[in-house]
Amino acid sequence: MKRIKIAVVFVVCLSWSLTAYAQQNIVRGLITSANQEPLISVTITEIDKTNRIVNGAYSNYDGEYVLQVRDRSNKLRFNYVGFVTQDQEIGERSVINVTLQEESLELSEAVVTGKAVTNTGTMNIPTREISFAMQKVDAKEFEGIQVTSVEDALQGRVSGLDIVSNSGAPGSGMSMRIRGTTSLRSDGSQPLIVVNGVPYETTVASDFDFATAREEQYAELLTVNPDDILEIVVLKDAASTAIWGAQGANGVLQITTKKGARGKPRVQYTYRLTSAFMPKPIPLLNGDEYTMLMKEEYLNPALNTNQGNIPEYSYVQDGSAFFWNYNNNTDWVKEITRPAWKHDNNLSISGGGERGDYRISFGYLDEQGIVHGQGLRRFTNRTDLGYVLSDRLIFRTELAYTYSDNDRNYDNDILNKALRKMPNVPVYARDEYGNYTDVYFNIDRASSNLHADQRDMVNPVGLVNLASYNSKSYRILPTFRLQYDILDPNKSILRFKSSVSMDVNSIHTTRFFPKELSGANYDNTSINYAFDGDEESTNIRLDNNLTWQPRLDNGHAFMMYGSVQTTINKGSSQSLGSYWAPSSYIQNVSEGFTSETKSYSSESHGYGMFVSSHYAYLERYIVDFVLRRDVSSRFGKNNRVGYFPGVSLKWIASDEDFLQSVSWIDMLAVRPSWGISGNTPNSSYLHYSKYSTYPYSYVDMPAVYPNGLQISNLRWEKTTQINMGIDFGFLKNRLVGDVNFYHKRTTDLLFQNLPIPSSSGYSTQSYENTGTMDNDGWELNMRAPSIIKAGDISVDLSLNLSNYYNTIMELSDKIDLSKGEMINNGEYLRNIIIGNPLGSFYGYRFKGVYQYTEYIPGVQENAPVARDAQGNIIYDRFGVPKPMWFNYGGSNAYQFQGGDAIYEDMNHDGSIDELDV
């Protein structure tokens, strides 16, 4: 009991002592104006010796405040809008009354000079001093327009930027090219996406491609809500992209998002409703017309009626369902399409105070596809918080989260199938009386006489309604930034910035193909096929930057920026496929016969550092320089380091005395630039030998086999670019713009999966440096700002034109130069030929139509006979004109007749074949 009493006394004494200590550090007071009126909500902050805020409070309705100070050697700062900020030393005072003086608004004369600046990714440079090729798009240009992604927002606004939709389906994304194709890699020409200084990594675990490079790989920008964007800067030439090293070889899209601003909370909500529909297609044959066309196709070559006697085209009424199922007029495109609606909701809350700012946004998009079975539901959230810890120390954090649920068609090219599907067959099978059933019609693949291209084609309506393909993705990107001014920024800027960012991405994909669509026997492996796959990636990036900007006199301006980056990229994926599930209602992958199991993991590291500088004299003569050093673990030890320099100049001739008298010229500048950028392979561990497994290949046991040849001497793919630009502004800047001419040469082209002799033990080599490619072109941008202005209404006009030409200059003879066929339906031949553009497609040169079958001199000249390079007829040894034959790919030779197309005989041998392509 005595111990309890002692403890109680001790606690009471301790409480009294703490209370006394707290009271000793309490400061209170009254804040008034010069006329002795109390001021409400005055900000009172305790400032330490490093000018950092350590505590704070606000005055109440009566102008009174109470603050428990942490250190009496600090000072109190009193801040109120419209009044002069006042500092008071605390010392031993417990009561500090303050009278704030109103700020004087009377100015005898004020001269204000403002400069527009542009963030180049490293430094904020005055826009008129930009010496390299770039273009800025402000978010105001696409406000109020329904755009789902950044690609939509950029369509038609940036010269030299090609944006092509992959399929038009919601969530399919788009392919982008800046100034043409610079790589032979399938994804090697996509530009780098940078959001608030953090690069967006694209495909994870690229070696493991369970979805065969489906279009969703190009939908990275769907995770950026266009309503969050403040501006987009497009970097085009190597002098500007060199700061990003290997990642920026194909151009850079720098996206800056909106942030909070000082003031009361601002709540903004927008809702957009749009509709889309299938444009009127090319007129197609109906079922009756198609049937006659096919009968003629089989009949005409041999003029034999038996050749066209195919049951599916015969119209034989034999009392069976067969007649009814091949006597229809089906518009397949109409059957699978619909008017689609898009609902876009966006909510943002922003504001800020004396020291901090915030912006929180939410977005929800619900988009239908014009094809049944397509749809995208996307939720986005972005939180941006900033706080000024002191006059020299700023902390900022960003958090972006995206969830998307994307329904696709099982077949990526469903519209193509609808256009090619036989229109004489029905959507739903018909019985022997001609009545429609509720079963989707499929051609019996075992007994049909049709060509495989039609026999094996799945019912498009059944495909969009019964088969499924779904992808759910989760992506979170946290970033933490710290900025510290080492020197007093009012005298000279020496600023250190550090940031840590993460990109965590998870994708779950499921697919299912039911037996009702196959038209095959149950032992076919396409029966009730199910697939389940997961991809995960984590990318970590650490940036440490230092900016130096001394205050110089006599018209000199100088900035220097240095940066060191470290990146760690990890990816993993796994998938499982099965078939023969007992029912199409059972779509779980575990219920069928397991046909494939795959898993993959990879990790790569990167280290880069660069220094860039900007110098201007009299704001008229400008020089920019950058040098970057990259280290990548994707190369062997002899080639891991790459150096990428860039230099650009600008001379603003309109500031010279000899042009001052030309009143209609406001800006005329010349800016040449040169730089080198690089590219890496998108696979890891190339400098190691790789092994894979065969499941149950030897006595029901897995086997290990080599499947990746070690590549130790692979080199960086490098692009050297020269740019010549001219900036202009005329008629008091009523007409402004720029024109650029450029030449890009890519050397040591990286080529994937190069065929090699099987005697090596491998069928392909993962990568090889193969050749050289050029891109030459020009760009023109013109804008007439506020050309029409009436009150709050203004009209801007803009125009951009561009043209470029791609040329293969050099290529290894190991590469298969041809791809595709030119005689099959829906295909075309593509050849890679030195001196011609990449991606060119080839065929015969059409020269007209033969009017006659038999050649008669002077009477029937336009007949199918062979001619030499001068147009003279080639005769055989008997003096008879040599006829023209068609003999492609070793097929049965066909002699041209009157009415056939004339194709140019390139080698004048009397035969139209592969050599004439």
Q: Give the HSE-up count for residue 719: Cα atoms under 13 Å, Cβ half-sphere.
A: 35
Tokens representing 65?
Answer: 């405040």
pLDDT at site 177: 83
CA neighbours within 13 Å on the CB side: how many for 413? Answer: 7
CATH code reported for the domain at 2-99: 2.60.40.1120
Q: Are 401 and 431 in contact (CB under 8 A)?
A: no
Residue labelled with tokens 């009361």: 264
pLDDT at residue 204 in the model:
41
Give the pTM: 0.75
- Provide the residue ranges of all domains of the chain, joining segments of one domain with +: 2-99, 117-258, 844-917
Looking at residue 360, its pLDDT comes to 95
Token duo for residue 483: 């900025």
Residue 2 pLDDT: 52
The architecture (CATH level 2) of 117-258 comes to Beta Complex (2.170)
pLDDT for 649 equals 95
pLDDT < 50 regions, the chain: 1, 8-22, 106-114, 203-219
Cite the beta strand spans of 369-492 per DSSP E: 375-388, 393-408, 428-430, 436-440, 468-485
Q: What is the DSSP string of 330-364?
A: --HHHHHB--EEEEEEEEEEEEE-SSEEEEEEEEE
Residue 801's contacts (CB-CB under 8 Å, 6 or more residues apart) are 159, 779, 780
The string of pLDDT tens digits covering residues 434-481 is 899 999 998 887 777 777 777 778 899 999 999 999 999 999 999 999
| Residue count (the chain) | 917
Q: Are strands 252-257 and 192-195 parallel, antiparallel or unpaired?
A: parallel
Alpha-carbon radius of gyration of the chain:
36
Residue 820 has a pLDDT of 60
* Sign of the Cα pseudo-torsion (131, 133, 139, 141, in order): positive
- Please state, in angstroms and rounded to a whole number, the distance separating the CA atoms of residues 180 and 182: 6
* Spatial contact of 151 and 168, defined as CB atoms under 8 Å apart: no
